[in-house]
Every structure is written in C-alpha cells, then in structure tokens.
Structure 1
Amino acid sequence: MNLPDLGEEGERPALVYVGLGANLGECEAALRNALAAIGQLPGTRVTRVSPLYGSAPVDAGGPDYLNAVAELTTALAPQPLLQALQSIEQAAGRQRPYRNAPRTLDLDILWFGGQAIDTPELTVPHPRMAERAFVLRPLADLAPERVDAAALQAVASQDIHRLEGPGWADAVVGG
C-alpha cells in the first residue's frame, strides 16, 4: 500500500476513535486488515476495539454491514491521519461511485483528542455520529462517556446486533 506523505508526527499522541465498516466482500477480514494497517502507521497504536456488530445500511441499499469502533493513540495530526485512512480504504478496493454506496471498507474519524475540526475534508466529531446506532453502540462499548444517552435512545430502533465480543480483533490490537 502506498501511503501519502504523512508529514511530521505530532509531539504528543492524541486519543482517537475510528469507526470501521464494510458490507462487500470478506468484511471481517477487511476490518482486521484495516486495524493491522492502522497499527502500522507512524506513531500510531490501536489500543482497543469494540465488539463486532451487524447492521442494516442507513440511507443506503446493499447487504448488511459489519461495524466496529477502534480506539487508538496517534502522533499524526488529523489531516495526515485522514489521508492514511483513505489510503487504507483504497488498498481494500474502496470505490466511491455515489454517496452511501456499498463498500469494501469505510474508515471514519469519529473523535480526535477532543478537538473540534471543521474543514472541507474533515469534520470531527463526526457530523452524523449521533444519528447512527452502528457508530454509537460500539463507541459506547469503548467510551460510554463520549456517547450521549439521549442520542443512543434516539437510534434504538435501528437494526443493529452484536455479533462477537471484543476478542475478534485481538491479533491486531496493541501492536
């Protein structure tokens, strides 16, 4: 995989939460491979991963998704991290033919060290996070203090179910 020039690493690692999803191909393998690739980024370590969830697509068609959230620490700044995550998606065959198209891999920065970021390329916290059970439920497993109880209640009717506990990704966590 060819990563973009990631620039200089930051001085202090930031705590980051990244949403992972896939609904085309070998989804669980794609999520594990993505976690391994994230863990290989400069100054980056995957520290924990939520249980694996299955969910129906939201505002889209196609097969059900596998979803999880990863907690990581990274010395990368937000923009270089976004570029690296997009390179990992591309290496997994991600195509963007239209908005909310089915995908082999989707990686979203949900939260980055408490920063509010609003650029044309990146908005953090993720702007639609509070509308999506497939993000809130796995994030609540890792960081319940980051999930508003009212938002979690508001998405309770969305079709999502826990498939596996956090051990599904043990081989790639903490490297």
Structure 2
Amino acid sequence: MTQVVLSIGSNVGDSLAHLRSVTDDLGPRVRAVSKVYMSAPWGGIEQQDFLNAIVVADDPERGPYEWLEFAREREANAERVREVRWGPRSLDVDIVVCRSDAGQDVVGTDPQLLLPHPRAHERAFVLLPWLDVEPDATLAVGTDARRVDDWLATLSAEERSGVRATDMTPVSAEERRE
C-alpha cells in the first residue's frame, strides 16, 4: 500500500466542485480531508484567490507514478490549461508526500516527480490544511526533516495570513452520507 498527501487547489470555474471531483474520484481510498482554505495567489501573477485543501488517501495498487497519473487525469478532466507558471487553474493536484508500506516517505528525483514536493515547506496554503488532518506530520527538505508546524513557523506573517479557513469542505454531500 502507498499513502499520499495531495494538495488540491482551484481558482477558475466552480472551484469547490473541482476540489470535490478529486475526493469523489478517490472514494473509499480517502483517509482524511481538510476543510477548504481560501488563499491569495502564489507566485506574483494577478488573479483571483484560490480554494485549497489537503487530501490523504491510500491505495495498495498505486505507487508514486500511479498517483501522478491520477493527479494529471483529474486536472485533465477539469480542463486545466498550463499556459502561465503559477497562473490561474481550474484544478491543481500536487503530490506533497508519498509514503511506502512501511510508512517511509518516498524520495523522488525524477524532474517529472520530485518527492517530497520541493516547495511545500514554503506554502502556507499547503501547510495549514495539512495540519488539520495530520497535526504531527513531518516534511523533509533534503536532509532537514521538520514537523509541518515548524515549517509553518518559518514563513512570513504575510504568507500565513494570506490563507484563511472557510466553512466549506471538499467532500460532496453524497460522500458525507456514506
């Protein structure tokens, strides 16, 4: 079995529906889902705010590349267009961490799949929702492994304050009834 921590975000179209499409497609593989956070765009491109969440899922049939395929398929289904780096997007699905059967974080150096995500420790919109679902989580950046709340503390007040919790959930009403 592999477990994955996915960061999902959207700021084009029905953003909440785009986020919910990921949890809907994961179905029973979902282990935990954060609430939805609203965040200022990251990367300096003028655009509307994002909705972001973290999803923890596991699947005995998926390794890191199968999770990457899952992420890319969800983005394609949402008609994501990659025109501008850090630009607006209907759906962004990033693998933050992938864990092996033994609970060890997988390290990937393939440019198509860098693991753990190389900039997750710099993004409050990843760290804050992650703490919702895994308060004791750790994240390694090279040889520097720290608790996620410690990484969050290294970010500027401006970065942290640009991420606000909402009352929304990326789980559809149908999934909540099950």
Question: Which TM-score bucket, shorter chain as reference?
Answer: 0.7 to 0.9
Unmatched tracts of structure 1, length 5 or more = 1-12
1:17 and 1:50 map into 2 onto residues whose CA distance is 11
Q: Aligned pairs, how many?
A: 158
**Which residue identity does 1:33 align to in structure 2?**
S
Number of the residue aligned with 1:152: 152
1:57 and 1:31 map into 2 onto residues whose CA distance is 16
Q: Is residue 142 of structure 1 aligned with residue 126 of structure 2? A: no
Q: Does the Cα contact within 8 Å between 2:4 and 2:98 map onto a contact in 1? A: yes
Deviation, 1:174, is 10
Matches within 5 A, 1:85-124: 85-113=71-99, 114-124=105-115
| Range with greater deviation from structure 2 (117-126 or 65-74) | 117-126
1:27 and 1:172 map into 2 onto residues whose CA distance is 18
| Range with greater deviation from structure 2 (56-65 or 17-26) | 56-65
TM-score normalised per structure 1 = 0.83
Number of the residue aligned with 1:48: 32
Identity of aligned residues (%): 32
| Range with greater deviation from structure 2 (141-150 or 57-66) | 141-150
CA offsets, 1:78-118, max 9 Å, x none? 11210121011011010101211200000001110111111
TM-score normalised per structure 2 = 0.81
Q: Does the Cα contact within 8 Å between 2:6 and 2:97 map onto a contact in 1? A: yes
Q: Does the Cα contact within 8 Å between 2:19 and 2:170 map onto a contact in 1? A: no
1:121 and 1:77 map into 2 onto residues whose CA distance is 14
Number of the residue aligned with 2:19: 31
Matches within 5 A, 1:160-171: 160-164=163-167, 168-169=170-171, 171=174
Matches within 5 A, 1:4-15: 13-15=1-3
Q: Does the Cα contact within 8 Å between 1:48 and 1:173 map onto a contact in 2? A: no
Deviation, 1:148, is 3.0
Q: Does the Cα contact within 8 Å between 1:49 and 1:173 map onto a contact in 2? A: no
1:173 and 1:14 map into 2 onto residues whose CA distance is 24
Q: For 2:166, what is the secondary structure of its paired residue?
A: strand
| Range with greater deviation from structure 2 (119-128 or 146-155) | 146-155
Deviation, 1:168, is 4.9
Runs of 4+ with deviation above 2 angstroms: 147-150, 154-157, 170-175
Q: For 1:144, what is the secondary structure of its paired residue?
A: coil
Deviation, 1:173, is 6.7
Q: Is residue 66 of structure 1 aligned with residue 68 of structure 2? A: no
1:84 and 1:102 map into 2 onto residues whose CA distance is 21
Q: Is residue 133 of structure 1 aligned with residue 124 of structure 2? A: yes
